[in-house]
């Protein structure tokens, strides 16, 4: 839970400063943030003295997340730009 919160905060800061129509930065940041989350989880489990499989699984998961984001980023970006999703807030 703690690691997800930290990664989401980092992702939101990255998301504020990028051009969302360029896909390379979100895809690369997906890899690094997924890898960082895996390292945080391994670190927490190490502090709790729970044995884990190791860092290779974290690397494979980060690569998998990056490959999935390559295919899904454009779809999600186009969906977020539709008129139904993009509504103006009225208070």
Could you report the per-residue pLDDT of 61-80, keeping only the tens digit for each?
Answer: 999 999 999 889 888 888 87
Domains of the chain: total: 1
Is residue 55 a part of any domain in this protein?
A: yes
CA distances from 83 to 25, 54, 58, 76, 88 (A): 25, 45, 38, 14, 10
pLDDT of residue 65: 92
pTM score of the predicted model:
0.72
Print the domain residue range for 38. Answer: 2-8+16-80
The answer to whether position 32 is within a domain reads: yes
CA dihedral 52, 57, 59, 64 (to 10 degrees): -140
The pLDDT > 70 percentage for the chain reads 86
């Amino acid at each position: 839970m703690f690691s997800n919160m930290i990664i989401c905060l980092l992702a939101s800061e990255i998301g504020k400063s990028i051009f969302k129509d360029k896909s390379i930065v979100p895809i690369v940041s997906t890899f690094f943030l997924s890898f960082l989350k895996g390292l945080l989880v391994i670190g927490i489990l190490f502090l709790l003295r729970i044995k884990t499989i190791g860092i290779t699984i974290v690397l494979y998961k980060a690569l998998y997340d990056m490959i999935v984001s390559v295919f899904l980023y454009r779809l999600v970006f186009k969906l977020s730009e539709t008129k139904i999703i993009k509504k103006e807030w009225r208070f």
